Amino acid sequence: MAIIKYYGAIAEATQCNEEHIAVADLNISDCVELLSAKYNLNAFEITVALNQNLVDIDSTIKLTDSDEIALLPPFAGG
């Protein structure tokens, strides 16, 4: 099972900081869509990190059970 980590307002919306989910046959896009539906996250602009590297939310990269996926709220640089 892959680890899903939630930060900021997304963690508040999901009411958890992380969870483990089965990702067999899922890609990044599928995973985000699944979690958005589960937690009603459609109103958020989500940035996704896969194994601590930012990836496109529409990515078709296949996930594995050893992956760490982070859903990040919008952030500003400085």
Give me the mean pLDDT over the 39-45 stretch: 94
Looking at domain 2-72, its CATH architecture is Roll (3.10)
Which pLDDT score, from 0 to 100, does residue 74 have? 82
Please tell me the distance from the alpha carbon of residue 49 to that of residue 4, in angstroms, as a whole number. Answer: 10
The arithmetic mean of pLDDT across residues 8-25, rounded, is 95
* pLDDT range class, residue 76, cuts 50, 70, 90: low
**Strands of the sheet with 2-6, listed across from one edge:** 18-21, 2-6, 68-72, 47-50, 53-55
8 A C-beta contact, residue 72 and residue 47 = yes
Q: What are the sequence ranges of the domains in the chain?
A: 2-72
What's phi and psi for 37, nearest 5 deg?
A: -70, -40
Whether this prediction's pTM lies above 0.75 is answered by: yes
pLDDT of 30 > 60? The answer is: yes
